Amino acid sequence: MITVVGIGADGWDGVSEVGRAWVERARVVLGGRRHLDLLPDVPGQRREPWPSPLRDRLPALLASLADEAAGGHVVALASGDPLVSGIATTFMHLLGPDEVTVVPGISSVALARAAMRWSAESHAVVSVVGRDVALVRRELAPGRRILVLSSDEHTPRDVAALLVAEGYGDSELTVLGDLGGREQSSFLFDKAVILTGKEFDLPRLNVVAIDCVGPSLGGWVAGLPDDAFEHDGQLTKRDLRASALARLSPTPGEHLWDVGAGAGSVGIEWMRAHPSCTTTAVEADADRAARISRNATSLGVPGLEVVHGRAPGALAGLRPPDAIFVGGGATRDGVIDACLTALRRAGRLVVHGVTLETEMLLGRLYRKHGGELTRVSVETSAPVGAFTGWTPARTVTQWALTR
C-alpha cells in the first residue's frame, strides 16, 4: 500500500489531521525536495526525493520499498489534491487502484477558482502538466473562461503566445502563483499579447486563468469547414465527415481507428467531441502522416497518435478500438477483415467508397453482415456564366455497421 498525502504551499500547517497521522507513522516518505523540507523531524524516518526522470525510475524505487509498502508504511507527498494531474494517478497506473490510498489537500483548481471568484460551473480546466499547451486550443471560444494547470514558469508565456496566434490576444490573462501559501501572488495581464513581449519573473508553481476574447474557431459538433484542415485533396469533406461521425457516435473514453486517414479529419473531430476520446490514425503516405500531426495540434488535440504504415499490417498490436473509420484502402486484401476482427461488441464501423470496386465490396459486406448502406451525393452552388447552378461532388457509398 502507498498512501498519498496532499500538502499545499502553506506546508505542514495545512495538512489535515489524517494526513499528518499517516506521515508521522510512516517508515518511508517520498516526495519532492520542496515538500520533504516542509515536514517536521520524525526520528528514524527515511525520506526519499523523487528520482529523475520520474516515470522511468519510479518502478525501481517502488520495488525497493516493497517490504515497507506491504506493511502500509510508505507515504508519498503531492501538491494539493494528488488526483489532479498528480502522482496518485501514476501510482494507480503502476500498482492498481486498490494499492493506493489518497488523503487529498485543497486542489490548485479550488484555490484558483476562489482567487478568481469563479464558480465551478463557469469555466473549463485544462492540464498541460507534462502535456502539449496546444490542448488549450480546443477550449477557446468567445467569452469562455479557462483555468490552465501549468508545468512551470514558462507555461504562461506559451499560453499567451498560443492565444495571440489564434486571435485571442485581447484576452485577460491572470497568473496565480504559489496558491495557498504565504507567497501567493496574482499577475493580471489585460491583454495576453503583453505577456509575450516583455520579460516577467513568474513563479514556477502557477495556474493561468483566461477570460477569452476572440473569434469563434469552430464548434465541437462534427463538420468543421474543410479549410480548417491542411490537406492535399485527400480529405473526408465536411458533409460526409458529419455523416460518418454521426454513425461512429463518439462517446467519452472511447478509442477510434482512422484507417487510411488522409488529413486525419475524422479522427481529429472524434477527439474534439470529448477530451477523453482518443484516436489512432493509420496512414501509409509519410507526408500525409506528418500533416495529420500538424492538423491535430492546430485543432487542439495534439495527443492523436499517428501510425505511419499500411493496413492491414499496420493495425497489428494497436490499442483495441471502440469504433473504426475506413476512409481509404477498403479493397486492399485483409483490411476489412482485420477491422471486423478487432471491433469490440457494440463497436461501430463506417467505410467510405467512391469507386465501383469499393461500392461492389460494400454491397457484398452489407448482404453478409447487415448494417446500413447509404449513397451520399452532395451538390454545391457555383457560377454558371452570369447565373448560379449546382456542381455535384463525387458520390460516396457509405456502409455503417454496429456489432
Tens of pLDDT along 263-310?
999 999 999 999 999 999 999 999 999 999 999 999 999 999 999 999
Which residue, of 176, 211, 246, is where some domain finishes?
211
Q: Are residues 308 and 383 in the same domain?
A: yes
The residue range of the domain holding 148 is 109-211
Does the model's pTM come out above 0.85? yes
Q: Are residues 169 and 242 in the same domain?
A: no
Phi and psi at 302, nearest 5°, equal -65, -15
Which residue, of 75, 106, 137, is where some domain finishes?
106
Q: Are residues 175 and 245 in the same domain?
A: no
Which residue, of 73, 106, 139, is where some domain finishes?
106
Residue 257: strand, helix, or coil: strand
Look at the block and give the residue holding cell 490537406: 231
Total domains in the chain come to 3
The H or E element containing residue 272 is helix 265-272
Q: Are residues 31 and 155 in the same domain?
A: no
- The residue type of 246 is A
Among 113, 79, 74, CA closest to 7: 79
- The residue type of 66 is A
Mean pLDDT of 203-232: 93
- The answer to whether the peptide bond before residue 53 is cis (omega within 30 degrees of 0) is yes
Where residue 198 falls among pLDDT bands split at 50, 70, 90? confident
Tens of pLDDT along 145-161?
999 999 999 999 999 99
Mean pLDDT of 23-47: 93
Q: Are 74 and 26 in contact (CB under 8 A)?
A: yes
Tell me, yes or no, whether 320 lies in a domain. yes
Where residue 70 falls among pLDDT bands split at 50, 70, 90? confident
Tell me, yes or no, whether 219 lies in a domain. no
Q: What is the CATH classification number for the domain harbouring 36? A: 3.40.1010.10
Where residue 137 falls among pLDDT bands split at 50, 70, 90? very high
Q: Are 289 and 308 in contact (CB under 8 A)?
A: yes
Among 321, 167, 234, CA closest to 226: 234
Q: Are residues 89 and 117 in the same domain?
A: no
β-strands 396-402, 348-353 pairing: antiparallel
Where residue 396 falls among pLDDT bands split at 50, 70, 90? very high
Q: Are residues 169 and 93 in the same domain?
A: no
Task: Please count the residues of the chain.
Answer: 403
| Residue 113: predicted pLDDT | 97
The beta strands (E) that lie in 285-347 are given as 305-308, 323-326
Mean pLDDT of 51-59: 89
Tell me, yes or no, whether 372 lies in a domain. yes
Where residue 181 falls among pLDDT bands split at 50, 70, 90? confident
| Residue 197: predicted pLDDT | 86
Instruction: Find residue 148's DSSP bridge partners.
Output: 126, 208
Tens of pLDDT along 343-387?
999 999 999 999 999 999 999 999 999 999 999 999 999 999 999
Q: Are 177 and 183 in contact (CB under 8 A)?
A: yes
Tell me, yes or no, whether 367 lies in a domain. yes
**Which CA distances in Å does 308 have to 234, 265, 330?**
16, 16, 17
Q: What is the CATH classification number for the domain harbouring 376? A: 3.40.50.150
The H or E element containing residue 248 is helix 238-248
Among 337, 340, 361, CA closest to 349: 340
**Which CA distances in Å does 12 have to 40, 76, 181, 237, 351?**
8, 14, 11, 57, 58
- The answer to whether the peptide bond before residue 142 is cis (omega within 30 degrees of 0) is no
Neighbours of 272 (CB within 10 A): 23
pLDDT at 185 over 80: yes
Among 5, 2, 144, CA closest to 68: 2
Tens of pLDDT along 314-353?
999 999 999 999 998 999 999 999 999 999 999 999 999 9
| Residue 72: predicted pLDDT | 78
What residues contact residue 117 under an 8 Å CB cut-off, 6+ apart?
none
Instruction: Pick the most confident of 49-53, 214-218, 322-326.
Output: 322-326
Rounded to 5°, the CA angle 27-16-13 comes to 90
Q: Are residues 248 and 350 in the same domain?
A: yes
**Mean pLDDT estimate for the chain:** 94
Among 264, 206, 199, CA closest to 235: 264
Tell me, yes or no, whether 136 lies in a domain. yes
Where residue 200 falls among pLDDT bands split at 50, 70, 90? confident
Q: What is the CATH classification number for the domain harbouring 162? A: 3.30.950.10
Tell me, yes or no, whether 220 lies in a domain. no
Q: Are residues 150 and 290 in the same domain?
A: no
Mean pLDDT of 33-55: 91
Q: Are residues 297 and 388 in the same domain?
A: yes
